[in-house]
């Protein structure tokens, strides 16, 4: 049975981390809200699910994934689940936990990337918090991005199996997610990020290596890959990249 992914249809957002894992796995999945309402899709399908009262473990917010009777919310938990089923995580328990730890750190980075343009509230428009966003984005760009990328560079260098992957010697969902973060940061901060990335050669090499993987390359060239835009997590506001 195909997985059902529930995520906002117009953005890459956090759903993209799940899409990349499903695509790399070659898994059969339905991106429910991207289907038309006539086909039972669209935002109404997603909202109907969130409003259901008969679910014992309801997700807090999209993305969430349905696999038969199993329903999982939280991007990192979804990836933990998919990683085990599609060889996108090591089998060893300690290594699986390490992969999950990295993913949770990526979730922190994603949250901060969002808060750089929405520092006061996700419920206010960017235009309602521009002065605060200017300050927050400057800190994110100059201090937080290097801190996160520095940590990824360091754990790549320390990987006993080589610096091509974050964990072990094979691709994991954490590699795919780091790729997506670099893509997003390059989109959001084109001026400063190109320069910045040069300071983290292992991260840059991993980013390029993931983009070259046959299934990822095919996905990125397909219509399934939505373009970045100014409604998602990674937004390009030139005034925040000075
Ligand atoms: N920690 C959650 C965050 C989920 C989340 O914030 N989802 C956003 C879209 S990317 C949303 O729809 N939030 C609605 C809300 O927080 O009410 C995850 O990583 O999945």
C-alpha span between 80 and 100 (Å, rounded) = 7
5: nearest Cα among 58, 78, 83: 78
24: nearest Cα among 156, 180, 195, 146: 180
Q: Who's near 127: CB < 8 A, 6+ residues apart? A: none
pLDDT tens digits for range 78-100: 999 999 999 999 999 999 999 99
Shared domain for 230 and 123, answered yes or no, is yes
Angle at 15 between CA 84 and CA 125, to 5 degrees: 150
Shared domain for 51 and 34, answered yes or no, is yes
Domain that holds residue 49: 3-85
Shared domain for 102 and 74, answered yes or no, is no
* CA 81, chain centre distance (Å): 15
Shared domain for 180 and 73, answered yes or no, is no
As averages over each run of 10 residues, the pLDDT of the chain (242 residues) reads 97 98 98 96 95 94 97 98 98 98 98 98 97 98 98 98 98 99 98 96 98 98 98 98 92
C-alpha span between 65 and 117 (Å, rounded) = 27
Shared domain for 117 and 200, answered yes or no, is yes
**Does ligand 1 lie within 6 Å of residue 107's CB atom?**
yes
**Does ligand 1 lie within 6 Å of residue 62's CB atom?**
yes
Shared domain for 70 and 117, answered yes or no, is no
* Residue 126's CATH number: 1.20.1050.10
Q: In this structure, are residues 115 and 193 in contact, taking their beta carbons and an 8 Å threshold?
A: no
Ligand 1 mutation target, pool 9, 62, 79, 103, most atoms within 8 A of CB: 62
Parallel, antiparallel or unpaired: strands 29-31 and 70-73: unpaired
For residue 206, count other CB atoms closer than 10 A to its CB.
25
Domain boundary among 33, 53, 85: 85
Shared domain for 198 and 215, answered yes or no, is yes
**Does ligand 1 lie within 6 Å of residue 75's CB atom?**
yes
State the pTM of this model. 0.98
pLDDT tens digits for range 141-168: 999 999 999 999 999 999 999 999 999 9
Shared domain for 137 and 215, answered yes or no, is yes
Going from the Cα of 186 to the center of ligand 1, the distance in angstroms, rounded, reads: 22
Q: In this structure, are residues 31 and 3 in contact, taking their beta carbons and an 8 Å threshold?
A: no
76: nearest Cα among 24, 119, 21, 132: 21
- What b-and-e string marks burial along 90-128, b requiring 16 or more CB atoms within 10 Å of the CB? beeeeebebbbebbebbbebbebbbbbbbbeeeeeeeee
Shared domain for 21 and 42, answered yes or no, is yes
Shared domain for 229 and 175, answered yes or no, is yes
Q: How large is the C-alpha radius of gyration of the chain?
A: 18
* Residue 56's CATH number: 3.40.30.10
Number of compact structural domains in the chain: 2
Match 């390029």 to its residue by tokens: 208
Domain boundary among 27, 58, 85: 85
pLDDT tens digits for range 125-143: 999 999 999 999 999 999 9
Domain boundary among 24, 55, 85: 85
Six-digit token pair at 1?
A: 């049975």
C-alpha span between 169 and 173 (Å, rounded) = 13
Going from the Cα of 12 to the center of ligand 1, the distance in angstroms, rounded, reads: 12
């Amino acid at each position: 049975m195909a997985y059902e992914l529930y995520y906002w249809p117009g953005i890459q957002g956090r759903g993209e981390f799940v899409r990349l894992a499903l695509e790399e796995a070659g898994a059969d999945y339905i991106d429910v809200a991207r289907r038309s309402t006539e086909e039972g899709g669209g935002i109404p399908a997603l909202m109907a699910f969130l409003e259901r009262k008969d679910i014992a473990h309801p997700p807090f917010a999209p993305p969430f994934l349905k696999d038969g009777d199993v329903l999982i919310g939280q991007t990192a938990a979804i990836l933990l689940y998919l990683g085990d089923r599609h060889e996108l995580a090591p089998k060893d328990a300690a290594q699986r936990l390490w992969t999950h730890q990295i993913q949770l750190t990526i979730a922190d980075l994603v949250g901060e990337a969002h808060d750089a343009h929405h520092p006061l509230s996700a419920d206010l428009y960017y235009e309602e918090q521009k002065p605060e966003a200017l300050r927050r984005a400057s800190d994110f760009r100059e201090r937080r991005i290097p801190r996160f990328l520095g940590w990824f560079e360091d754990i790549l260098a320390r990987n006993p199996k080589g610096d091509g992957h974050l964990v072990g010697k094979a691709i994991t969902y954490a590699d795919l997610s780091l790729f997506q973060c670099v893509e997003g940061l390059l989109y959001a901060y084109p001026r400063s990020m190109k320069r910045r990335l040069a300071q983290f050669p292992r991260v840059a090499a991993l980013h390029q290596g993931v983009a070259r993987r046959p299934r990822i390359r095919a996905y990125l060239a397909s219509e399934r890959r939505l373009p970045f835009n100014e409604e998602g997590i990674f937004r390009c506001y030139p005034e925040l990249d000075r």
